[in-house]
Amino acid sequence: MWGIKVFLVYAPRRVECPSCGIRVEQMPWARGKRPLTRAYGWFLASWGRRLSWKETAEVFRTSWESVFRSVEMAVEWGRAHQDLSGVQAIGIDEIAWKKGHKYLTLVYQIDAHCKRLLWIGKERKTKTLLR
C-alpha cells in the first residue's frame, strides 16, 4: 500500500495439538500460501465493491488479480455463512449474458421484508444443479 513494500519474515513454530498431533501453527494474518494478508484481502474486497476492480488495483498499486482473489475470498466466506432460513417466497428470472444464446438463471428472495439475490446458475440446461 502507498508504494511501500513490506516483507514479513516469520518462522512458524511447530505445535502439538491434543487431537491432531504435531502441526505447524496457523498464522492469523495469512491464508495458506497466498501473498496477501487476510486484513488486506478484506480491505481490497470492500473497495472492490465501490470501484471497478481495475480502478481499485490502480489506486492501491496492486494487480487486478489480487483484487479478484480478495473479492473471491469474500464471496466464498459469504456463501459459506449464508442464512436461508425464513425464505418464504422466491422469484426466478433468466437474463441474456454476453453475445449469442448465453443465459444466467437468477433466484431471488422476494419476501415483503427482504429482497435479495440467492443464487446464479450459468447456462440454460434441463438440469441446473444448485451448488
- Would the pTM count as exceeding 0.75? no
Tens of pLDDT, residue by residue, the chain (131 residues): 566 777 778 888 888 888 888 988 877 777 777 778 888 999 999 999 999 999 999 999 899 999 999 999 998 998 899 888 889 999 999 888 878 778 888 899 999 898 988 888 877 666 655 55
Letter string b/e over residues 47-72, b meaning 16 or more CB atoms within 10 A of that residue's CB: bbeeeebeebbeebebeeebbbbbbe
Q: Is 68 helix (H, G, I), strand (E, B) or coil?
A: helix
Alpha helix segments (H runs only) across the chain: 38-50, 53-59, 64-80
Q: Which residues, in sequence order, are CB contacts of 125 under 8 Å at separation 6+? A: none
Nearest to 27 by CA among 83, 36, 18: 36
